[in-house]
Homo-oligomer: A and B are copies of this chain.
Amino acid sequence: MLEDSAADGMPRYARLQKILEERLNNGTYPVGSLIPPEIELAAEFATSRTTIREALRYLRERGYVERKQGVGTRVVSDTSKSTYYQSFGSLEELFQVSVETFYVIMDMRAVTLDIETAELVGGLAGEEWMLINGVRWTEPGGKPICYIQSYVPKRFEDVVREEFPDHQGPFFTLLERHADGPIEEAVQEIRALPMPADIIRQLGLKPGSWSLQLLRRYVTDSGTLIASFNWHPADQMTYVMHIHRSKETGTE
């Protein structure tokens, strides 16, 4: 049901987006299955087909579902198909070849605005996180290129606060020195995805903004280090970087 009591200023189609997205995530609509047709959804939520279509448009643009005339709306949330995997033999390779090249390409300098405690959706349980807000500029005093939201385990807070302002090299070499072991292998995924509508609203981006997502997995001998980096450019262009490790990745 879609009571107006839940109307926290959001339009109806936006609330439907959230509800349907939740169903995709909690398994109500499994990957590969067809979700109910528009007409059924419209009946269930007591709304018009137009509103349902507006919500489904969002899910399609996010790549969650694919729609085909005469067939239906199928869950395709398996993003692995839209991902390019790249392996690195050493961290130096990863940093120098990939991260730093992006820095060079954009020729940007970062400024840290503030640090606050944050909750990472889908993060590992038991791990506390902090959110680092920052801005990158074309040059000192120049115009802002993008906003950065970096999710980092809270146990690195002291490290970041004390050492980062003077840190010269890649940000992650700083974290690595305080991680629970040397990082021996890394895998990087590069994705391009539309920006979530709520982030667009929150940051005042243009509708239709994108994100270029770098997802990186570290593998150490002992544990898991996860950090998530979101770049929200001041304008149309958007980069989102996610850095984490996963147990499944072998050390071979």
**What residues of chain A have their CB less than 8 Å away from a CB belonging to chain B?**
60-63, 66-67, 79, 81-84, 86, 97-98, 101-102, 104-107, 138, 145, 190-194, 206-210, 212, 235-238
Contact = CB atoms under 8 A, between A and B. Distances in A.
A102 B62 CA distance: 24
Contacts of A194: 208, 210
Contacts of A235: 81-83
Determine chain A's interface SS by DSSP, over half rule. Answer: mixed
B236 A63 contact: yes
Contacts of A145: 84
A190 B81 CA distance: 25
Given A101-B101, A101-B105, A105-B97, A82 B192 contact: no
B61 A208 contact: yes
Nearest to A192: B237
Q: Which 10 A-B pairs have the closest CB atoms?
A: A82-B236, A101-B101, A61-B208, A192-B237, A82-B235, A192-B210, A210-B210, A60-B207, A194-B208, A98-B105
Instruction: Tell me the number of copies of this protein.
Output: 2
B192 A84 contact: no
Nearest to A213: B237
Given A82-B237, A106-B190, A192-B238, A206 B63 contact: yes
Contacts of A212: 192, 212
A84 B82 CA distance: 26
A106 to B, nearest CB: 7
Given A66-B207, A82-B237, 4 more contacts: A61-B208, A67-B207, A83-B235, A192-B210
B236 A192 contact: yes
A104 B62 CA distance: 27
Could you say which of A82, A101, A192 has the most chain B C-beta atoms within 10 Å of its C-beta?
A192
A60 B212 CA distance: 20
A236 to B, nearest CB: 3
B207 A61 contact: yes
A141 B118 CA distance: 44
A210 B82 CA distance: 12
21 contacts: A61-B207, A62-B208, A63-B208, A66-B206, A79-B236, A81-B236, A82-B206, A82-B236, A84-B106, A86-B106, A97-B104, A101-B104, A101-B105, A105-B190, A191-B237, A192-B210, A192-B236, A193-B210, A194-B208, A194-B210, A210-B210
